[in-house]
Amino acid sequence: MAETSALPGDPAQRPRAIVISTGKRGHDIKGIGVAEHLGLEPEVRTVRLSPPWSWIAPRGRPPLPPGLQGPPWPDLVFASGRRTIPLARALKRQLGSSVFVTIFDDPGPSPDEFDLVWTSLHDDVAGDTILRTLTAPHRLTAHGLATEGAALAARLGLDPGDAPILGVVLGGPSKVYRFGEARGHGLPRSLPACSARAGPAFSWPGRAAHRRT
């Protein structure tokens, strides 16, 4: 569960937040995490950007699909991923200052079209509306990590005094990188220094699911 910042007043009067989604969980989680930290319950709007707009994304300003039309209109919009950016741009152009739009990627030309562009340090983006951080926003919190860590330790039969466990989270396979079973079994042997410090290593055979949490 995410740690939240309390908002005063009736929950029904809190800002209406949406996350523009193309169905990729790794993209959606950025906006969901920020909204939850603000004490909001964002609505994920899954939409499809059709050609020719999908061909030129993140450029362009397509007509709004039914899933993004109002009323009611959102107060906060979060978008991550190349194909969500044209839709966020279209919402901003239509609603103007009545909506605050945050982009979690390099939006291409004219980042100042948006109220906030939150990128990682490796993105070469500059401007008055740019926020650059080492990692992308997410839903992880100290409380959540402690809770899930205790549950995992209990499941594995570990005691609090045992050596820490090194966890490696992988996102493959993908269109550009193959991560098969052989590589999965060989991974622990490629991390001798880390595993020596972390203590026991646990390995599950098989392919990793291409989902992010």
Its pTM stands at 0.72
Q: What is the pLDDT of residues 93-127, one digit of tens each?
A: 999 999 999 999 888 878 889 999 998 888 878 88
User: Quick one: pLDDT band at residue 211, thresholds 50, 70, 90?
Assistant: very low
| The pLDDT of residue 206 | 41
| The pLDDT of residue 200 | 52
Residue 17 pLDDT > 90: yes
User: Quick one: pLDDT band at residue 14, thresholds 50, 70, 90?
Assistant: confident
Domain boundaries, the chain: 11-133, 163-202
Nearest to 65 by CA among 78, 91, 47, 51: 47
- Among the residue ranges 11-25, 154-168, 197-211, the one predicted with the least confidence is 197-211
Residue 198 pLDDT > 80: no
- Compute the distance between CA of residue 7 and CA of residue 16 in angstroms, rounded to an integer: 13
Residue 33 pLDDT > 50: yes
For residue 182, give the amino acid letter.
Answer: A
| The pLDDT of residue 7 | 60
Compute how many other C-beta atoms are within 10 angstroms of the C-beta atom of residue 73.
15
Q: Which two tokens stand for residue 148?
A: 């899930």
Residue 29 pLDDT > 90: yes
Fold of 11-133: Rossmann fold (3.40.50)
Q: What is the pLDDT of residues 129-182, one digit of tens each?
A: 899 888 889 988 888 888 988 888 888 888 766 766 666 776 667 776 777 777
Residue 208 pLDDT > 50: no
H/E stretch holding 91: helix 85-95
Residue 207 pLDDT > 60: no
Mean pLDDT of 56-78: 90
Compute how many other C-beta atoms are within 10 angstroms of the C-beta atom of residue 82.
17
Residue with tokens 């107060």: 75
| The pLDDT of residue 196 | 61
**Residues 40/78, Cβ–Cβ less than 8 Å:** no
